Amino acid sequence: MRLGERGQATVELVAVVPALVLACVIAWELVLAGHAAWVAAHAARAGARAVAVGRDGRAAALSVSRSASVSEVGGGRVRVSVPVPLVVPAWGSPVSVSATAGLAGSR
């Protein structure tokens, strides 16, 4: 090891660790967004099934996700919007995902 290279590994580690942490946070946020989309779709299907049998679609969708915003768009179709949770829960989520489900052949 040359005298001018002392501490080179430490400098590289200090440069790489924040980038690695940021990449992990971004990946986790994408996982949370995917989960929110799955929950929205599941809640919309539950609401549409309830409407199909003459029950309250809003209550059925809210039983899947309490944080959902539910609206019946007519024709047996239910639209559900779910906020995407953030890695830091104290911050409010500005992004939401939505899904619509309905009876087959109702458009």
pLDDT tens string 62-106: 999 998 999 988 888 999 999 999 988 888 888 999 999 998 755
Q: Rounded mean pLDDT of 55-59?
A: 92
Distances in Å between the Cα of 100 and the Cα atoms of 27, 30, 56, 79 are 26, 21, 16, 4
Residue 2, pLDDT > 60, answer yes
Residue 76 lies in a domain: yes
Entry pTM:
0.80
Q: Rounded mean pLDDT of 47-58?
A: 92
Residue 107 lies in a domain: no
pLDDT tier for residue 4 given thresholds of 50, 70 and 90 = low
Are 101 and 73 spatial neighbours (Cβ–Cβ below 8 Å)?
no
Residue 106 lies in a domain: no
Residue 107, pLDDT > 70, answer no
Residue 82 lies in a domain: yes
Residue 40 lies in a domain: yes
Residue 38 lies in a domain: yes
Residue 23 lies in a domain: yes
Supply φ then ψ for residue 75, to 5 degrees: 65, 25
Are 63 and 51 spatial neighbours (Cβ–Cβ below 8 Å)?
no
The predicted pLDDT at position 1 comes to 56
Could you give the number of structural domains in the chain?
A: 1
Tokens for 80, please give them.
């559900």
Domain assignment of residue 15, given as a range: 3-101
Residue 34 lies in a domain: yes
